[in-house]
Structure 1
């Protein structure tokens, strides 16, 4: 494996852009007074983005992936994100081992 300076520079630039957007967003939100409706709306953004990323893969890959995503989504209604995701990973592992 060789060192490519352009790839390294691109990684550094993407890191800087990501850090800037995260920190500036947190800085801006701390200085704003948000109403209850706005706070509730912002609270549902992470799960909505996650579903937008996961749903196309879940529905296009196969039955095991679709079932594992369904199990994860149902578990997320009762559990926090980490246990729900772990249950999804366990589900896909079991279903794939079973040949589904």
Structure 2
């Protein structure tokens, strides 16, 4: 097996960019005060990312997945992210077992 130098450099560059963005976020957040509106905006990011990942599934698959995406979206408004995802997974599993 041979390793292409361009591919290796691309992988290393993507790894460096990922590490840089994660570390810079941790460093920069120490210098920002999180008052009411800023805190709300930052707390809205995880549900927004979840919906960006889940929405294509809702429109490209069957009724069970669409209903589960809706359940996940509603749950993400009130529950922690892990609980919302777990609820969505359980919902799609139950709906598939029911034959939808």
Structure 2 matches for 1:26-37, cutoff 5 A?
26-37=26-37
List per-residue Cα deviations over 1:5-63 (Å, max 9, x = no partner): 55454333322211110110221121123432222212212211221232122122221
Question: How many angstroms does 1:76 deviate by?
Answer: 2.8
Size of the aligned set, in residue pairs, is 99
TM-score, length of structure 2 as denominator length: 0.76
- Structure 2: unaligned runs, 5 residues or longer: none
Contact 2:47-2:77 within 8 A present in 1 as well? no
- Residue 44 of structure 2 corresponds to which residue in structure 1? 44
- Residue 79 of structure 2 corresponds to which residue in structure 1? 79
- Structure 1: unaligned runs, 5 residues or longer: none
Instruction: Name the CA distance, whole Å, in 2 between partners of 1:34 and 1:87.
Output: 30
Instruction: Name the CA distance, whole Å, in 1 between partners of 2:95 and 2:37.
Output: 40
Instruction: Name the CA distance, whole Å, in 1 between partners of 2:34 and 2:78.
Output: 27
